[in-house]
């Protein structure tokens, strides 16, 4: 026993060759099937089934009565034609573009600017934490509260915003925040206030994780702060900022709450977004088939945009050897 | 190119009871065009020293001069230093050539000239084929070359290298040692090289500054460090395997002094010169050091010992031996077959015996 010769199994201790226990650790071969089956079932139940159901009804003349009585007929792509042909939907696409440009994009830009300013100019950790908490607070409020709050703030006659602008001398008369043409801007302002902290948090955490040695190298190489920001920080944060964009874009396509609380799409449907119309047609007016068609169209638009975005990201990252 | 002088430089991190004195009263002169290595174990303050020279770390007290210019309060970008980092610190979003040219770009050099200089440097460092690639796609050795190139592309007063080889494998390391030596010979720049690896330091540097516990222990060329180490730390740190130490008591024998090891039956003879120095120094306990390569297997030798282990290391073997309580090591030829429990004898040259004060650990000469 004591003289073990390497390569000669006859000298190995007996535990080495003892037969391994044949009792399996997990008794049944059904266990893996069940473990995989549960998430598959959940996925089918809450994602796949409703999607298929929705697509099915988008091809039928379903309304609420028909849905419960079971009498609805196949009408081909007539629902889609109605949606695409309606002026209401076309207008809402313009509103969506306006919201994406000035809402989502501006939020990411402002959030990025705030995050980098905070990182560059506030050096004490305690101060950073306090400022971050203050900036993140609006994000913690439920959208209904945010909507009501901003309705009050923007009330034309005696709202705080108009009062402030007046007393600062920036305007001469009340801005009618909820008139046609302005009400969508009011929603965008409230939404910015609500969500600017999300890109801020994402970009800030990205900036924190950039390697300090690269910045030391840049200082030694003689670059000033502006040069470092433009040539090093922003390019290195490209992927992180893109992620913030994607998150805000996906949110934009399901953005209903503030529209509902602040303007209900009005006045005269001038602040409606496609998702709001889908909600309105389906839940308020019970045109299930048409609402389903809306949902599918919105899904298609967002899928195309986000695929393009991801393709671009992948190309950028591939060039840098990150993917 | 500049002469670099550090005068009574101190670095203290933190304050109050949690203050750490990372560099203590450091005085160091690096001649123009000289290659000096800062060598020491982890946490000895060598990197703090280097970061103070570059300007990435503020100086708690003392002054740093480049030639006659006091640079202590200048930002790194105003000192005209170039640095290669341990982690390479390449700009990941730039191609190799953009990385090389960035120091020129921030100085407003035209793009044509940037291209030309980058090509020259790439030629020098053999990285021309990878000029259009991005750093994450490169091997460690290639990244290291690019980071050296980025530092070399302008004409800095001092060229500073921070543990630049600690992430390279042994083969690449020897290649880079050779290349660095060649670069220094060709460019004649003032270079400060920080490392914890004595092989790198002794191979590259004209002079090596050994640091330990925030204090500069000794500055000298490799012969000085090897044969006349200033104290027990340097004798122990420089050389592989490290110096053997024995606690000894002197015994006067007419004019000569013998050093009798307290915990073993071993006696060391001293040269007349050392004996005189010991006599002047006085005291009745010393530390004696002798390097493993200065112990020679010899049947008529004075030092008898029993072999514990015979480690075969290829081109040489290390014999670990013992004489009662004293254990020590000797470097011998690899064909020595003395196995455990066999008895061996060593001879030595009294000139190789180093005597240190037992308390201050300083060399007695």
Of B230, B258, B282, which marks where a domain is finished? B230
Closest CA to A265 of A284, A248, A246: A284
- B39-92 residue pLDDT tens: 999 889 898 999 999 999 999 999 999 988 899 888 888 888 899 888 889 998
- Identify whether residues B158 and B295 lie together within a single domain: no
Residue A197 lies inside a defined structural domain of this protein: yes
Closest CA to B306 of B362, B273, B266: B266
- Identify whether residues B84 and B204 lie together within a single domain: yes
Residue B365 lies inside a defined structural domain of this protein: no
Of B190, B205, B230, which marks where a domain is finished? B230
Task: Give chain A's contact residues with B (Cβ, < 8 Å).
Answer: 211, 213-214, 216-224, 227, 231-232, 235-236, 238, 319-322
Option in A217, A222, A231 nearest B89 (CB)? A217
Residue B239 lies inside a defined structural domain of this protein: no
**Predicted local distance difference test score (pLDDT) of residue A19:** 66
How does strand B326-332 pair with strand B317-323? antiparallel
Residue B28 lies inside a defined structural domain of this protein: yes
Closest CA to B220 of B205, B209, B231, B236: B209
Angle B323-B328-B332 (CA atoms, 0-180°, nearest 5)?
110
Closest CA to A217 of A227, A207, A208, A209: A227
Q: Residue B309 and residue B168: Cα distance in Å, rounded?
A: 31
**Residue A230 C-alpha, separation from nearest chain B C-alpha, in angstroms:** 12
Q: What is the CATH number of the domain that holds A205?
A: 1.10.3720.10
User: B21: domain range?
Assistant: 4-230
Supply the ipTM of this predicted assembly: 0.79
B56 interfaces chain A, CB cutoff of 8 Å: yes
Closest CA to B346 of B288, B306, B287: B306
pTM of the model: 0.75
- B173-186 residue pLDDT tens: 888 888 888 888 88
- B170-218 residue pLDDT tens: 888 888 888 888 888 888 889 999 999 888 898 889 999 999 999 999 9
B342 interfaces chain A, CB cutoff of 8 Å: no
Residue A81 lies inside a defined structural domain of this protein: no
Q: What is the CATH number of the domain that holds B203?
A: 3.40.50.300
- Identify whether residues B256 and B190 lie together within a single domain: no
Report yes or no: B11 and B48 within 8 Å, Cβ to Cβ.
Answer: yes
Q: Is A72 helix (H, G, I), strand (E, B) or coil?
A: coil
Is the bond leading into B241 cis (omega within 30 degrees of zero)?
A: yes
- Identify whether residues B195 and B72 lie together within a single domain: yes
- B78-108 residue pLDDT tens: 888 899 888 889 998 889 999 999 999 988 8
Residue B237 lies inside a defined structural domain of this protein: no
Residue B238 lies inside a defined structural domain of this protein: no
**Predicted local distance difference test score (pLDDT) of residue B52:** 92
User: What does the radius of gyration of chain B's CA atoms come to, in whole angstroms?
Assistant: 25
**Predicted local distance difference test score (pLDDT) of residue A167:** 84
Residue of A nearest to B104 (CA): A221
User: A111: domain range?
Assistant: 87-319
- B272-323 residue pLDDT tens: 888 888 888 888 899 999 999 999 998 888 899 999 999 888 888 999 999 8
Which residues are paired to B297 by β-bridges? Answer: B346
B103 interfaces chain A, CB cutoff of 8 Å: yes
**Predicted local distance difference test score (pLDDT) of residue A1:** 46
Report yes or no: B52 and B248 within 8 Å, Cβ to Cβ.
Answer: no
What is the CB neighbour count within 10 angstroms for residue A184? Answer: 23
DSSP summary character for residue A230: I
pLDDT in tens, chain A (323 residues): 457 777 777 777 777 767 666 666 656 778 888 999 999 999 999 999 999 998 998 888 888 877 788 788 888 888 888 888 888 888 888 999 899 888 889 999 999 999 999 998 988 889 999 999 999 999 999 988 999 999 889 888 888 888 888 888 777 777 778 877 788 888 999 999 999 999 999 999 999 999 888 999 998 888 888 889 999 999 889 888 988 988 888 888 888 888 888 888 778 888 888 888 888 888 888 888 888 888 899 989 888 988 888 888 888 777 666 65
- Identify whether residues B347 and B201 lie together within a single domain: no
Q: What is the CATH number of the domain that holds B306?
A: 2.40.50.140
Residue B43 lies inside a defined structural domain of this protein: yes
Q: How many CB pairs under 8 A join A and B?
A: 76
Where do the H-state alpha helices sit in chain B? 46-54, 76-79, 96-105, 111-125, 140-152, 170-187, 198-204, 222-227, 232-237, 272-281
Of B200, B230, B260, which marks where a domain is finished? B230
Q: Total structural domains in chain A?
A: 1
Angle B48-B51-B53 (CA atoms, 0-180°, nearest 5)?
115
- Identify whether residues B210 and B108 lie together within a single domain: yes
Q: Total structural domains in chain B?
A: 2
Q: Residue A46 and residue A40: Cα distance in Å, rounded?
A: 10
- Identify whether residues B182 and B49 lie together within a single domain: yes
B252 interfaces chain A, CB cutoff of 8 Å: no
- Identify whether residues B160 and B24 lie together within a single domain: yes
Buried b (16+ CB within 10 A) or exposed e, A211-243: eebbbbbbbbbbbeeeebeebbbeebbeebbbb
Subunit contact A221:B87, Cβ cutoff 8 A = no
Subunit contact B92:A236, Cβ cutoff 8 A = yes
Q: Residue B212 and residue B225: Cα distance in Å, rounded?
A: 14
Residue A285 lies inside a defined structural domain of this protein: yes
Q: A110 Cβ partners below 8 Å, 6+ apart?
A: A192, A196, A199
Q: Is B35 helix (H, G, I), strand (E, B) or coil?
A: strand
Subunit contact A211:B87, Cβ cutoff 8 A = yes
- Identify whether residues B224 and B313 lie together within a single domain: no
Determine which of B93, B104, B136, B149 to mutate to test the interface with A (most A C-beta atoms within 10 Å): B93
- For residue B146, pLDDT beyond 70: yes
Q: Residue B14 and residue B31: Cα distance in Å, rounded?
A: 32
Residue A134 lies inside a defined structural domain of this protein: yes
Subunit contact A232:B93, Cβ cutoff 8 A = yes
Residue A108 lies inside a defined structural domain of this protein: yes
Report yes or no: B245 and B287 within 8 Å, Cβ to Cβ.
Answer: yes
**Predicted local distance difference test score (pLDDT) of residue A27:** 65
**Predicted local distance difference test score (pLDDT) of residue B349:** 92
Report yes or no: B63 and B29 within 8 Å, Cβ to Cβ.
Answer: no
Residue A214 lies inside a defined structural domain of this protein: yes
Angle A313-A315-A319 (CA atoms, 0-180°, nearest 5)?
115
Residue A116 lies inside a defined structural domain of this protein: yes
**Residues of A whose CB is below 8 A from B91:** 214, 217-218, 231-232, 236
Residue of A nearest to B77 (CA): A222
Option in B77, B91, B136 nearest A219 (CB)? B77
Residue A47 lies inside a defined structural domain of this protein: no
**Predicted local distance difference test score (pLDDT) of residue A22:** 63
Report yes or no: A233 and A239 within 8 Å, Cβ to Cβ.
Answer: no
Length of chain A: 323
Q: Is A164 helix (H, G, I), strand (E, B) or coil?
A: helix
- Identify whether residues B107 and B226 lie together within a single domain: yes
Order of strands, sheet of B35-39, starting from the edge strand that comes earlier in the sequence: B81-84, B158-162, B191-195, B35-39, B207-212, B215-220
Is the bond leading into B42 cis (omega within 30 degrees of zero)?
A: no
The share of chain B scoring above pLDDT 70, in percent, equals 100
- Identify whether residues B211 and B134 lie together within a single domain: yes
- Identify whether residues B169 and B207 lie together within a single domain: yes
Is A305 exposed, middle or buried (CB count within 10 Å of its CB: 0-12, 13-18, 19+)?
Answer: middle
Helix (H) or strand (E) holding A56: helix A49-58
């Amino acid at each position: 026993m004591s003289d073990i010769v390497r390569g000669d199994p006859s000298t190995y201790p007996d535990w080495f060759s003892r037969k391994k226990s044949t009792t399996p650790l997990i008794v049944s071969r059904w266990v893996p099937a069940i473990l995989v089956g549960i998430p598959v079932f959940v996925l089918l139940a809450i994602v796949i089934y409703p999607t298929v159901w929705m697509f099915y009804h988008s091809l039928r003349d379903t309304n609420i009565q028909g849905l419960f009585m079971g009498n609805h007929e196949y009408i081909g792509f007539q629902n889609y034609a109605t949606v695409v042909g309606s002026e209401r939907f076309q207008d809402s696409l313009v509103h969506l573009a306006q919201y994406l440009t000035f809402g989502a994009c501006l939020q990411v830009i402002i959030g990025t600017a705030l995050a980098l300013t905070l990182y560059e100019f506030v050096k004490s950790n305690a101060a950073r934490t306090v400022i971050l908490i203050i900036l993140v607070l609006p994000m913690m409020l439920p959208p209904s509260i945010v909507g009501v709050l901003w309705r009050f703030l923007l009330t034309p006659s005696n709202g705080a915003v108009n009062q402030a602008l007046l007393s600062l001398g920036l305007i001469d008369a009340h801005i009618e925040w909820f008139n046609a043409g302005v009400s969508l801007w009011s929603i965008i302002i409230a939404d910015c206030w609500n969500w600017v902290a999300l890109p801020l948090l994402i970009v800030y955490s990205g900036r924190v994780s950039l390697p300090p040695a690269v910045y030391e190298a840049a200082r030694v190489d003689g670059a000033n702060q502006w040069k470092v920001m433009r040539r090093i920080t922003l390019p290195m944060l490209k992927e992180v900022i893109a992620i913030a964009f994607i998150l805000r874009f996906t949110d934009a396509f399901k953005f209903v709450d503030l529209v509902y609380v602040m303007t209900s799409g009005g006045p005269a449907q001038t602040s409606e977004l496609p998702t709001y119309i889908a909600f309105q047609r389906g839940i308020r007016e019970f045109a299930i088939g048409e609402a389903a068609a809306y949902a599918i169209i919105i899904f298609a638009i967002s899928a195309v945009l986000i695929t393009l975005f991801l393709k671009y990201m992948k190309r950028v990252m591939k060039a840098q050897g990150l993917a | 190119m500049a002469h670099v002088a550090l005068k009574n430089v101190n670095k203290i991190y933190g304050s109050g009871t949690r203050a750490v004195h990372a560099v203590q009263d450091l005085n160091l002169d690096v001649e123009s065009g000289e290659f000096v290595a800062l060598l020491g174990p982890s946490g000895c303050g060598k990197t703090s020293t280097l970061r103070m020279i570059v300007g990435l770390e503020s100086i708690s007290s003392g002054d740093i001069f480049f030639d006659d210019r006091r640079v202590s309060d200048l930002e790194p970008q105003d000192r005209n230093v170039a640095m290669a980092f341990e982690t390479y610190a390449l700009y990941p979003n730039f191609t190799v050539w953009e990385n090389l040219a960035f120091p020129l770009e921030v100085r407003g050099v035209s793009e044509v000239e940037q291209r030309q200089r980058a090509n020259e440097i790439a030629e020098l460092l053999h990285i021309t084929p990878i000029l259009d690639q991005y750093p994450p796609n490169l091997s460690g050795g290639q990244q290291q070359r690019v980071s050296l190139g980025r530092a070399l592309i302008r004409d800095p007063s001092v060229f500073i290298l921070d543990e630049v080889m600690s992430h390279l494998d042994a083969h690449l390391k020897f290649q880079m040692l050779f290349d660095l030596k060649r670069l220094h010979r060709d460019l004649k720049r003032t270079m400060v090289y920080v490392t914890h690896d004595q092989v790198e330091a002794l191979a590259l540097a004209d002079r090596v500054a050994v640091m330990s516990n925030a204090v500069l222990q000794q500055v000298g060329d490799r012969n000085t460090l090897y044969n006349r180490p200033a104290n027990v730390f340097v004798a122990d740190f420089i050389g592989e395997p490290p110096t053997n130490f024995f606690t000894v008591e002197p015994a006067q024998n007419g004019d000569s002094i013998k050093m009798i090891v307290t915990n073993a039956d071993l006696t060391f003879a001293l040269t007349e010169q050392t004996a005189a120095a010991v006599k002047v120094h006085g005291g009745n306990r010393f530390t004696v050091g002798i390097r493993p390569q200065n112990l020679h297997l010899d049947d008529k030798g004075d030092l008898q010992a029993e072999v514990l282990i015979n480690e075969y290391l290829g081109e040489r073997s290390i014999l670990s031996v013992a004489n009662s309580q004293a254990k020590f090591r000797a470097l011998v030829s690899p064909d020595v077959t003395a196995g455990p429990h066999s008895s061996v004898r060593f001879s030595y040259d009294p000139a190789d015996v180093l005597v240190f004060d037992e308390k201050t650990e300083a060399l007695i000469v």
